[in-house]
Structures are given as structure tokens and as C-alpha cells.
């Protein structure tokens, strides 16, 4: 992290400003040190990444399967899929990132943060709970360390004061311990001129089905690597069927968006049935209620998400 980025941070417990203490600085970046809040709470900086996890935050152990997932696959291979399914329907083109300050809430492997930086973002605050932030994420953002600011945190306890131009939280909220609390906290970053790209898993879709819930109860006891190769076989079967008789898959599972990239489908299967602790689904009514109660409104709606703005 750059020393000047300290001013963007706050204590996730009480919101007070953080003071940088005893920093080790190399090539203009803080490598290690401490951050101390106004109430005396102390947080560590490890490998240039602030660890802002207060007592009560969601445990990193709850997302170990995600850390394994991102460390194994990364996600840089999926940029075309990401642009096609997440960005173009809601935002248009990646040129919309140019000159913007963006909060990537639930950054995973760091691929999205990197792509935002490649699109010309001024600053990307990359928030991730899992320990992949010290591994794959760190590797992924190489070359963009002056733009991407990684922070290990629980997005239900936001450690930032900046109100970004773009708030991005896609395929994340359903994996948090308390999705409603998390959504409301994220919504506090909204003002009358910024936008929020957001989605959650749909209760009426495949991921809300009983079979998925039952399978997840079984799969969560499997070692991650065993499930990785089982999910390969499942993905191979779906991919082959989709190619041979696509109407069978698309008619029954119309909310599943298949990619021509087999690795992307494989990762999606691992992810959907993975051993992470939390996976909630929301009905359309629940999604609309969530948005309304946070005093936001829908500007753009797509089958995979929303572009939200402040309801003023």
C-alpha cells in the first residue's frame, strides 16, 4: 500500500481514522507496520496489505474453499466472460472505468480489480476476506500496485471512508454471514452521483433448488482437491451435453449462462457447490425489498444483476 492511502482507511469497529505507525517502506510502498485507530485498536500490515478484521468479523476459515478456488484457478482467463455477462449488460464498456475510483467488494483472485485498472481506473480499492489476497490476488495485480489497493477485511465491517464512483459487488453478498447487514453497510458508500453494480443468487433459479442444498451438505465434507476433480467430471458432462443438445440444458436451466470456456464452467460448478460456510439465495421480492430499504433504486436490470443508484 502507498503511505498516502492511509487517509482512505478507518477503524472497522468505530469508524475513527487510522494512524500509520512504524512503517517499513520500500520503493514508495508500505511493506509492514501497524495501523492504530482512535480507540487504540491495532491492526497489522502484512506483505503490504492491511489486515482490518475486528472481533466479530466473518472468519477467514468460512471462505477457505474460496481461497483454494482462486489459488488453483485464478480468473484471468475469464475476462471475455466477465465483460460479456457482468459489464456490458449493466455498464456498457470497460472504458467506463477510466479515471474512476472503484471499490471491488469481494475481490477474490484480484482479476476484476486488475481489469478495472487495465480499463484506466484511477484507484481500485480491492476488498477480500480470504487468504488468497496474499497469494493469487497479489500475483494477479502485479504491475498495477500503484492503482490497486488490496485490503483484507469483512465487507460487513467496512474499513474505508472513501465514497467511490463505482461500487462493485457481484456474486459475493450471498456468501457473507449476514447479507442484509452487509448490503446496508455497502449502501452507505452511495451518494447521488455514483453507481452500484450488484447481484445475489436467485432463489427461483438452479442455485436455490433443494438438490443444490442437499449436495452442498455432502460436498462440504470432501477435501477441496477431491471436490475439484469431481466438479471437473460434472462440468465435462454439462459442457458436452450443452454442445450436443443445448436445448435440453437451456430449457431446464435457463438461468445458467454457459461459456465457451470449459475452465470457466468448471470453476462455476466448483463454486456453486463448494464448501464455503454461507450460501444464501434471494427471491425477486426479497431482492427488491433489500434495494428499497437501502434507499436505492434500479437504473439498469439484467438477468445477472443490477445497476443501482441512490434514490434521492
> What whole-number distance in Å separates Cα of residue 19 and Cα of residue 37?
6
Among the listed residues 89, 96, 88, 93, the one whose alpha carbon sits nearest the alpha carbon of residue 302: 89
Tell me, yes or no, whether 28 and 151 share the same domain.
no
Which residue positions in the chain have pLDDT lower than 50?
Answer: 251-257
Name residues whose C-beta falls within 8 Å of residue 216's C-beta, 6 or more positions apart in sequence.
273, 274, 275, 279
Burial (CB count within 10 angstroms: exposed 0-12, middle 13-18, buried 19+), residue 164: buried
Tell me, yes or no, whether 37 and 133 share the same domain.
no
> How many domains does the chain divide into?
2
Identify the pLDDT of residue 3: 98
> What whole-number distance in Å separates Cα of residue 142 and Cα of residue 256?
32
**Residue 249, SS3?**
helix
Q: Name the residue with cell 472481533.
A: 55
| pLDDT more than 70, % of the chain | 95
Tell me, yes or no, whether 299 and 222 share the same domain.
yes
Identify the pLDDT of residue 256: 46
Identify the pLDDT of residue 245: 64
CATH code, domain with 60:
3.40.50.150
Tell me, yes or no, whether 254 and 147 share the same domain.
yes
- The phi-psi region of residue 39 (left if phi > 0; otherwise alpha if psi is between -120 and 50; otherwise beta) is alpha
Q: Name the residue with cell 466438479.
A: 231
> What whole-number distance in Å separates Cα of residue 103 and Cα of residue 149?
10
Tell me, yes or no, whether 124 and 222 share the same domain.
yes
**Which sign does the torsion angle of CA 222, 225, 230, 234 carry?**
positive
Identify the pLDDT of residue 82: 94
Backbone angles phi, psi at 43, to 5 degrees: -130, 145
Tell me, yes or no, whether 79 and 111 share the same domain.
yes
Tens of pLDDT, residues 194-220: 999 999 999 988 888 888 888 898 988
> What whole-number distance in Å separates Cα of residue 246 and Cα of residue 130?
36
Tell me, yes or no, whether 60 and 48 share the same domain.
no
Tens of pLDDT, residues 96-130: 999 999 999 999 999 999 999 999 999 999 999 99
> What whole-number distance in Å separates Cα of residue 306 and Cα of residue 284?
12
Tell me, yes or no, whether 8 and 82 share the same domain.
no
Tell me, yes or no, whether 221 and 312 share the same domain.
yes
Tell me, yes or no, whether 83 and 66 share the same domain.
yes
Identify the pLDDT of residue 253: 42
Domain span at residue 12? 1-52
- The phi-psi region of residue 169 (left if phi > 0; otherwise alpha if psi is between -120 and 50; otherwise beta) is beta
Tell me, yes or no, whether 67 and 156 share the same domain.
yes
Identify the pLDDT of residue 203: 92
Angle (CA) 58 222 239, round 5°:
100
> What whole-number distance in Å separates Cα of residue 121 and Cα of residue 300?
22
Q: Sheet harboring 123-128: ordered strands across?
A: 19-26, 29-36, 42-46, 49-52, 148-153, 123-128, 101-105, 166-169, 195-198, 305-310, 296-302
Tell me, yes or no, whether 107 and 228 share the same domain.
yes
Amino acid at each position: 500500500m502507498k503511505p498516502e492511502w492511509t487517509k482512505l482507511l478507518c477503524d472497522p469497529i468505530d469508524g475513527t481514522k487510522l494512524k500509520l505507525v512504524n512503517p517499513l517502506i520500500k520503493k514508495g510502498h508500505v511493506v509492514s507496520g501497524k495501523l492504530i485507530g482512535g480507540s487504540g485498536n491495532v491492526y497489522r500490515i502484512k506483505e503490504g496489505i492491511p489486515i482490518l478484521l475486528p472481533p466479530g468479523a466473518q472468519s477467514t476459515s468460512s471462505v477457505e474453499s474460496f481461497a483454494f478456488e482462486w489459488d488453483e484457478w485464478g480468473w484471468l482467463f475469464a475476462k471475455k466472460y466477465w465483460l460479456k455477462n457482468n459489464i456490458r449488460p449493466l455498464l456498457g464498456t470497460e472504458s467506463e472505468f477510466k479515471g474512476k475510483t472503484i471499490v471491488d467488494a469481494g475481490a477474490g483472485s484480484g482479476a476484476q480489480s486488475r481489469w478495472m485498472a487495465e480499463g484506466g481506473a484511477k484507484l481500485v480499492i480491492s476488498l477480500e476476506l480470504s487468504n488468497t489476497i496474499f497469494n493469487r490476488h497479489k500475483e494477479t495485480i502485479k504491475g498495477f500496485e500503484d492503482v490497486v489497493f488490496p485490503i483484507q477485511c469483512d465487507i460487513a465491517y467496512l474499513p474505508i471512508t472513501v465514497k467511490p464512483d463505482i461500487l462493485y459487488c457481484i456474486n459475493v453478498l450471498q456468501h457473507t454471514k449476514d447479507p442484509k447487514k452487509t448490503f446496508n453497510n455497502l449502501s452507505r458508500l452511495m451518494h447521488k452521483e455514483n453507481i452500484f453494480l450488484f447481484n445475489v443468487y436467485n432463489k427461483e433459479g438452479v442455485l436455490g433448488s433443494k438438490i443444490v442444498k442437499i449436495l452442498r451438505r455432502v460436498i462440504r465434507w470432501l477435501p477441496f482437491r477431491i471436490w475439484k476433480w469431481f466438479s471437473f467430471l460434472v462440468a465435462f458432462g454439462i459442457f458436452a451435453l450443452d454442445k450436443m443438445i443445448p436445448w435440453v440444458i437451456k430449457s431446464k436451466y435457463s438461468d445458467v449462462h454457459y461459456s465457451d470456456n470449459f475452465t470457466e464452467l468448471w470453476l462455476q460448478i466448483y463454486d456453486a457447490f463448494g464448501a464455503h460456510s454461507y450460501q444464501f439465495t434471494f427471491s425477486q421480492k426479497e431482492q427488491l425489498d433489500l434495494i428499497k430499504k437501502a434507499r436505492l433504486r434500479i437504473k439498469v436490470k439484467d438477468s445477472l444483476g443490477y445497476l443501482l443508484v441512490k434514490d434521492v
